[in-house]
Chains A and B, each alone.
Chain A
Amino acid sequence: EAGVVQSPRYKIIEKKQPVAFWCNPISGHNTLYWYRQNLGQGPELLIRYENEEAVDDSQLPKDRFSAERLKGVDSTLKIQPAELGDSAVYLCASSPGQGKMNTEAFFGQGTRLTVV
């Protein structure tokens, strides 16, 4: 079974430029998460989707970050414009979804973003 797939693996951009990350969750998983992980810290939730609906985006900096999950499968996270402080690893994860007893979230390899 394929795991969570993210692309690109690495991205280097200049500040004020836009950037986008893509995630393909595990087939059949209704819940999709975007996390940001700063160096030496644990992942922090940015946004959570149940199918195509964003049910928790309280931690998403909405002035520059946006996300979508059209058709409730793949998802894209965008930053525009990027700032130096956005440098981090952006992790996508998926889990079966609400209504099912909590199970672990499965993570992708992440996209390491460097803003220069």
Chain B
Amino acid sequence: GESVGLHLPTLSVQEGDNSIINCAYSNSASDYFIWYKQESGKGPQFIIDIRSNMDKRQGQRVTVLLNKTVKHLSLQIAATQPGDSAVYFCAETYFGNEKLTFGTGTRLTIIP
């Protein structure tokens, strides 16, 4: 079936450096993508989203890039802070389908 997957299960980054988390998706019909952050003992928290009519979207310290040609998206976190340590999930869906399909997740650890 269709799935969303991540390339790296773990990532360690020095505090203050930038981090990039990658995600591959396989459903070419997907037109809406979300990055979630999940801290230990909490539910996933929305970070940023992007629709398929865009290839880049920026938030506060975060940028999501979408490459529909190769079905890949990435989450860039600038000037990482200890509070950025968490598991990050990408999720995808398409208009008319309210079901979000999640990837396995990447654990980001910020080294002080």
Contact = CB atoms under 8 A, between A and B. Distances in A.
Contacts of B91: 42
Given A104-B49, A110-B43, A42 B105 contact: yes
Contacts of B49: 103-104
A114 to B, nearest CB: 14
B34 A104 contact: yes
A43 B46 contact: no
B102 interface: yes
Contact of B95 (A55, A97, A101, A104): A101
Contacts of A40: 104-105
B61 interface: no
A45 B43 contact: no
B4 to A, nearest CB: 8
A75 interface: no
A105 B99 CA distance: 9
A44 B99 contact: no
A65 interface: no
Interface residues of B, number: 26
Contact of B43 (A95, A98, A101, A107): A107
A29 B105 CA distance: 27
B98 interface: yes
A93 B98 CA distance: 12
Given A104-B46, A106-B46, A107-B45, A45 B95 contact: no
Interface of B: 4, 31-32, 34, 36, 41-46, 49, 89, 91, 93-96, 98-105
27 contacts: A31-B98, A33-B98, A40-B104, A42-B4, A42-B89, A42-B103, A42-B104, A42-B105, A43-B44, A43-B89, A45-B99, A50-B98, A55-B98, A95-B98, A97-B98, A98-B98, A102-B31, A102-B94, A102-B98, A104-B49, A106-B46, A107-B36, A107-B43, A107-B44, A107-B45, A108-B43, A110-B43
